[in-house]
């Protein structure tokens, strides 16, 4: 069984208030009792059920579609195809003019006889029951004019093109100095090419929507990470004003980036509900999610590193060739982290795309760093061995004093401290630097490490907070809790700011009628929504104080002081204090309300003046069976420097979740695209492997004490995705240390290890 430990912030808990404390999830009891209502569980009178039929070919056109038998099937209300679906805008160009439009563009469904990817919706059946809809979908006959498509990334690398930007709007290329000359002249170098496969998010809750119209107002209960995106995307597709779309998503069973935009379940439920004038509910099946809910694209990465004889990097080059979709571009920012990680005078990062006839890749947990660090941090391990240097020492020797490409200082950067603390805790000195030497019985034992870096994003967000006459506080914002603990940390932020107990705070999320935030994604949720709420609470306190000082009914009237505090349910002004609830009752029987906001990070002076990232160090120990090549984890450790920790428990859960993703990426996650048919072959959870409990070892997470006052008013930084970054590379490096076999094609399955594993005498 997995044994886990947390250490870190105990000293801080006593020093500060409720922020940081490892309190249990506010929504935990609801979820355990089954009282948290997810999208598909929402019930509305008269709901009809939809089932999507996907295309049987990956490219071509629908020559003939016979829906007669399905329409005549029992309890069927509607069979929608491109022939009768309500008009929608064309899909439009593969690249939107601006980055935000990626999230807001129309995403029409069933609007063309063209088939752009395997399992693209070609029909929707709506019936009185789910079972009737699914059975009728099986009666639809479709004949396709199939066309040859491109599905093989390695075969088409020569056709790669340079996109205009990467995801999140980064420059496609970066060039500093003269890498090629430096590399040619260097005494020590590594030139290694790695491959990472297609991967799928597979959140536990599938993509699901219940759509209902009331007059010309549309309400969508769905599973969404960012409500504003869904609202805009639905409005664009249905060609209605966004104000007429309400998105409700109070509980989300995981997203991992696959729920940042509306997918076919949402669009088709809205259209069918419009046609039928009844609520319509649609969920993607697990199998349908593989084609219709995003993926991480297959990539080839070449990493070239050169150093002087002391191990100081003279050149860094990270080249990425990634699959993309032929009809909508997505360029994961795979090499962007390498622009900030290590010092070197000569540097190149480049992203190139190869269009395939598949659906578009989407944001998948730690876009960029997850695949990029898997390759890059293995190359660093290869370089350390070539130099005869400890991998940590190599990284320390290349620690930059400022952001190596932007030339600005770091806000906070504790990478070296993370590595040193990790080495001490992990017993790194016990690692045998010569690979393949440590054996226990018939197990080969190895240690590996890798660095972690993840940019700190902040998105524009507003929060509204109200206090009633009984001193109860309600905070509302359209933030989401995708299982990360948003409800909990926001409760803590409001409680600490207002000096009230947790039980006095109610946080309401997941409704687009609440003030807009950037939602959950990119690890920006806590810092963005949290800062907005922090500012809203400050504004509320200001209002209370102003009224307290001036209201005739106020016991604090005329206190004549400017130093005020809110603590333990009391308001103190100068020498006088009173119960907050009592004060509100006296001076504002209707309570007070206030709003607070933060601007998007990219627009702030602080963001321009400082390189803002979270950092960490991952350590892994693996055992490899010398007979079968089976790789099993023994233990993992992550030491993180990620600004102020808002809740030590939910933060730790985020990191161990990320580390588990690292295990998956290193050892098992891979979706196979059949180059003959263009379909993802292993499209279910039996054949697409994610780690089981048995695969997850003892995990230790340590947070270094940190407060980043450049990042935001809270001093917190993005955390959610940091656990993935580099975790898989630490595992891969441990496998190399155990076996002496370097597998550069992920995942590292036993068949790739076996040919190089010697037969050891029995």
Partner 1 sequence: MQSFTYERAASAEQAAAAVAAQPDAKFISGGTNLLDLMKLEIERPAHLVDISRLPLDRIEETAAGGLRVGAQVRNSDLAADPRVRSRYPMLTQALLAGASGQIRNKASTSGNLLQRTRCPYFYDRNMPCNKREQGSGCAALQGFNRTHAVLGASEACIAVHPSDMAVAMAGLDARIETISPGGETRTIPIGDLHRLPEATPHVETVLGHGEMIAAVTLPPPPPGRQVYRKVRDRASYAFALVSVAAIVEKSGDRIRSARIAMGGVAARPWRATEAERTLAGAVASDGAFTDAAEAALAGAVGHGGNDFKIPLAKRTMRHTLAAAVESA
Catalytic hit among 298, 329, 706, 721: 721
Cβ-based neighbours of 34, under 8 Å, separated by 6 or more: none
Say whether residue 638 binds partner 1 (CB under 8 A): no
- What are the two backbone dihedrals, phi and then psi, of residue 356, each rounded to the nearest 5 degrees? -120, 165
Residue 67 token pair: 């829906």
Say whether residue 751 binds partner 1 (CB under 8 A): yes
- What are the two backbone dihedrals, phi and then psi, of residue 80, each rounded to the nearest 5 degrees? -105, 130
Say whether residue 573 binds partner 1 (CB under 8 A): no
Residue whose CB is less far from partner 1, 604 or 682: 682
Say whether residue 407 binds partner 1 (CB under 8 A): no
Say whether residue 759 binds partner 1 (CB under 8 A): yes
Say whether residue 734 binds partner 1 (CB under 8 A): no
DSSP 386: H
Say whether residue 15 binds partner 1 (CB under 8 A): no
229-288: contacts with partner 1 (CB under 8 A):
287
Angstrom distance (rounded) from CA 576 to CA 578: 7
Residue whose CB is less far from partner 1, 134 or 585: 134
Residue 182 token pair: 């430096």
Residue whose CB is less far from partner 1, 470 or 627: 627
Residue 457 token pair: 């994003």
> CB of residue 287 vs partner 1: minimum separation in angstroms?
8
Say whether residue 138 binds partner 1 (CB under 8 A): yes
Say whether residue 99 binds partner 1 (CB under 8 A): no
Angstrom distance (rounded) from CA 106 to CA 260: 14
Residue 161 token pair: 């093109």
Query: By the 8 A CB rule, do 596 and 538 touch?
Result: yes
- What are the two backbone dihedrals, phi and then psi, of residue 144, each rounded to the nearest 5 degrees? -110, 145
Residue whose CB is less far from partner 1, 407 or 441: 441
Say whether residue 629 binds partner 1 (CB under 8 A): yes
Residue from 44, 56, 240, 408 touching partner 1 (CB under 8 A): that is 56
Say whether residue 204 binds partner 1 (CB under 8 A): no
Say whether residue 745 binds partner 1 (CB under 8 A): no
Residue from 66, 101, 131, 147 touching partner 1 (CB under 8 A): that is 131
Q: Which residues pair with 349 in a beta bridge?
A: 174, 318
Instruction: Please confirm, yes or no, whether 546 is among the known catalytic residues.
Output: no
**Of 616, 243, 261, whose CA–CA distance to 412 is shortest?**
616
Say whether residue 439 binds partner 1 (CB under 8 A): no
Residue whose CB is less far from partner 1, 79 or 463: 79
**Of 264, 300, 220, 237, whose CA–CA distance to 119 is shortest?**
264
Residues in the chain: 762
Pairing of strands 346-356, 173-176: antiparallel
Say whether residue 149 binds partner 1 (CB under 8 A): no
Pairing of strands 48-54, 121-127: antiparallel
Q: Which residues of 656-686 are buried (b: 16+ CB within 10 A; e: fewer)?
A: bbbbbbbbbbbbbbbbebeeeebbbeebeee
Residue from 510, 691, 718, 728 touching partner 1 (CB under 8 A): that is 691
Q: Which stretch binds partner 1 (CB under 8 A): 94-102, 156-164, 494-502, 683-691?
A: 683-691
Say whether residue 682 binds partner 1 (CB under 8 A): yes
Q: Which stretch binds partner 1 (CB under 8 A): 183-191, 379-387, 567-575, 624-632?
A: 624-632
Helix (H) and strand (E) counts in the chain:
19, 28
Say whether residue 695 binds partner 1 (CB under 8 A): yes
Say whether residue 66 binds partner 1 (CB under 8 A): no
Say whether residue 50 binds partner 1 (CB under 8 A): no
Q: Which residues pair with 175 in a beta bridge?
A: 348
Residue whose CB is less far from partner 1, 103 or 198: 198
Say whether residue 693 binds partner 1 (CB under 8 A): yes
> CB of residue 665 vs partner 1: minimum separation in angstroms?
13
Residue 690 token pair: 């994610």
Residue whose CB is less far from partner 1, 24 or 66: 66
Say whether residue 442 binds partner 1 (CB under 8 A): yes
Say whether residue 1 binds partner 1 (CB under 8 A): no
Q: Which stretch binds partner 1 (CB under 8 A): 157-165, 273-281, 423-431, 623-631?
A: 623-631
**Of 652, 691, 462, whose CA–CA distance to 7 is shortest?**
652
Say whether residue 705 binds partner 1 (CB under 8 A): no
Residue 670 token pair: 């891979």
Query: By the 8 A CB rule, do 509 and 478 touch?
Result: yes
Work out the angle between the directed axes of helices 525-550 and 486-498 (0-180°, nearest 10): 30
DSSP 435: T
Residue from 69, 146, 630, 745 touching partner 1 (CB under 8 A): that is 630
> CB of residue 266 vs partner 1: minimum separation in angstroms?
23
Say whether residue 33 binds partner 1 (CB under 8 A): no
Q: Which stretch binds partner 1 (CB under 8 A): 266-274, 402-410, 418-426, 688-696?
A: 688-696
Query: By the 8 A CB rule, do 611 and 403 touch?
Result: yes
C-beta atoms surrounding 305 within 10 Å: 27
Residue from 191, 430, 632, 709 touching partner 1 (CB under 8 A): that is 632
Residue 665 token pair: 């990426």
Residue whose CB is less far from partner 1, 67 or 88: 67
640-679: contacts with partner 1 (CB under 8 A):
667-668, 672, 674, 676-677, 679
Residues near partner 1 (CB under 8 A), total: 41
The secondary element (H helix, E strand) that includes residue 534 is: helix 525-550
Residue 751 token pair: 């068949």
Cβ-based neighbours of 657, under 8 Å, separated by 6 or more: 723
> CB of residue 752 vs partner 1: minimum separation in angstroms?
9
Residue from 24, 180, 684, 709 touching partner 1 (CB under 8 A): that is 684
Query: By the 8 A CB rule, do 666 and 643 touch?
Result: no
Residue from 309, 562, 575, 692 touching partner 1 (CB under 8 A): that is 692
- What are the two backbone dihedrals, phi and then psi, of residue 235, each rounded to the nearest 5 degrees? -60, -45
Say whether residue 148 binds partner 1 (CB under 8 A): no
Cβ-based neighbours of 128, under 8 Å, separated by 6 or more: 48, 49, 75, 77
Query: By the 8 A CB rule, do 620 and 627 touch?
Result: no
∠ CA 438-443-444 to the nearest 5 degrees? 35
Residue numbers annotated as active site: 721
Residues that bind partner 1 (CB under 8 A): 56-57, 118, 131, 134-135, 138, 287, 442, 627-630, 632, 667-668, 672, 674, 676-677, 679, 681-684, 686-687, 689, 691-695, 749-751, 754-755, 759, 761-762
């Amino acid at each position: 069984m997995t044994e886990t430990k947390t250490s870190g912030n105990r000293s801080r808990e006593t020093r500060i208030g409720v922020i940081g404390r490892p309190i249990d999830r506010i929504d935990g009891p609801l979820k355990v009792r089954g009282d948290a209502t997810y999208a598909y569980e929402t019930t509305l009178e008269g709901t009809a059920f939809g089932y999507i039929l996907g295309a049987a070919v990956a490219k071509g056109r629908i020559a003939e579609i016979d829906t007669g038998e399905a329409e005549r099937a029992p309890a069927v209300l509607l069979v929608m195809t491109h022939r009768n679906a309500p008009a929608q805008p064309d899909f439009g160009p593969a690249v939107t003019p601006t980055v935000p439009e990626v999230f807001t563009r129309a995403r029409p469904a069933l609007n063309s006889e063209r088939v752009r990817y395997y399992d693209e919706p070609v029909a929707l059946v709506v019936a009185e029951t789910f079972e009737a809809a699914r059975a009728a979908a099986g009666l639809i006959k479709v004949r396709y004019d199939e066309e040859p498509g491109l599905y093989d990334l390695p075969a088409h690398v020569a056709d790669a093109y340079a996109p205009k930007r990467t995801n999140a709007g980064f420059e496609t290329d970066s060039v500093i100095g003269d890498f090629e000359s430096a590399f040619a002249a260097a005494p020590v170098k590594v030139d290694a090419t790695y491959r990472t496969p297609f991967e799928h998010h597979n959140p536990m809750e599938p993509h699901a929507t219940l759509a209902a119209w009331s007059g010309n107002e549309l309400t969508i209960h769905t599973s969404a990470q960012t409500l504003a995106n869904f609202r805009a995307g639905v409005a664009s597709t249905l060609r209605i004003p966004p104000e007429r779309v309400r998105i409700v998503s109070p509980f989300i069973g995981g997203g991992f980036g696959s729920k940042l935009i509306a997918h076919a379940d949402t669009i088709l439920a809205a259209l069918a509900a419009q046609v039928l004038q009844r609520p319509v509910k649609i969920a993607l099946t697990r199998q349908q999610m593989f084609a219709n809910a995003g993926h991480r694209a297959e990539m080839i990465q070449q990493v070239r590193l050169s150093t002087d004889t002391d191990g100081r990097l003279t050149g860094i080059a990270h080249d990425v060739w990634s699959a993309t979709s032929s009809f909508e571009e997505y360029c994961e920012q795979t090499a962007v982290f390498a622009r900030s990680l290590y010092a070197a005078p000569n540097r190149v990062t480049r992203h190139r795309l190869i269009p395939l006839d598949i659906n578009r890749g989407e944001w998948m947990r730690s876009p960029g760093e997850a695949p990029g660090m898997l390759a890059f941090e293995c190359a660093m391990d290869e370089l350390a061995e070539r130099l005869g240097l400890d991998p940590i020492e190599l990284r320390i020797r290349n620690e930059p004093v400022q952001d190596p490409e932007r030339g600005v200082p770091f806000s906070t950067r504790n990478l070296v401290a993370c590595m040193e603390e990790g080495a001490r805790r992990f017993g790194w000195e016990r690692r045998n630097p010569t690979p393949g030497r440590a054996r226990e019985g018939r197990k080969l034992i190895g240690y590996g490490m890798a660095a972690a870096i993840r940019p700190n994003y902040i998105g524009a967000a507003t929060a509204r907070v109200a206090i009633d006459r009984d001193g109860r506080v309600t905070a509302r914002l359209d933030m989401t809790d995708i299982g990360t603990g948003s409800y909990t940390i926001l409760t803590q932020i409001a409680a600490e700011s207002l000096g009230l107990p947790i039980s006095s705070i109610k946080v309401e999320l997941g409704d687009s009628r609440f003030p807009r935030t950037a939602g959950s994604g990119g690890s920006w949720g806590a810092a963005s929504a949290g800062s907005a709420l922090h500012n809203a609470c400050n504004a509320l306190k200001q209002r209370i104080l102003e009224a307290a000082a001036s209201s005739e009914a106020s016991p604090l009237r005329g206190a004549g002081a400017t130093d005020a505090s809110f603590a333990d349910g009391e308001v103190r002004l100068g020498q006088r204090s009173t119960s907050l609830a009592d004060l509100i009752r006296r001076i504002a029987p209707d309570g007070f309300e206030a709003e607070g906001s933060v601007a998007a990070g990219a627009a702030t002076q602080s963001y321009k003046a400082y390189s803002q990232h979270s950092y960490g160090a991952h350590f892994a120990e693996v055992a490899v069976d010398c007979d079968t090549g089976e790789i099993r984890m023994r233990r993992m450790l992550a030491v993180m420097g990620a600004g102020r920790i808002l809740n030590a428990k939910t933060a730790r859960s985020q990191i161990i979740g990320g580390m588990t993703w690292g295990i998956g990426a290193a050892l098992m996650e891979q979706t196979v695209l059949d180059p003959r048919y263009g379909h993802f072959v292993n499209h279910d959870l039996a054949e697409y492997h994610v780690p089981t409990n048995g695969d997850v070892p003892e995990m230790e997470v340590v947070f270094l004490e940190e407060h980043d006052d450049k990042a935001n008013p809270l001093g917190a930084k993005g955390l959610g995705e940091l656990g993935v970054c580099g975790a898989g590379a630490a595992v891969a490096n441990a496998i190399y240390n155990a076996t002496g076999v370097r597998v550069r094609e992920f995942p590292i399955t036993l068949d790739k290890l076996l040919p190089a594993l010697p037969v050891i005498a029995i």
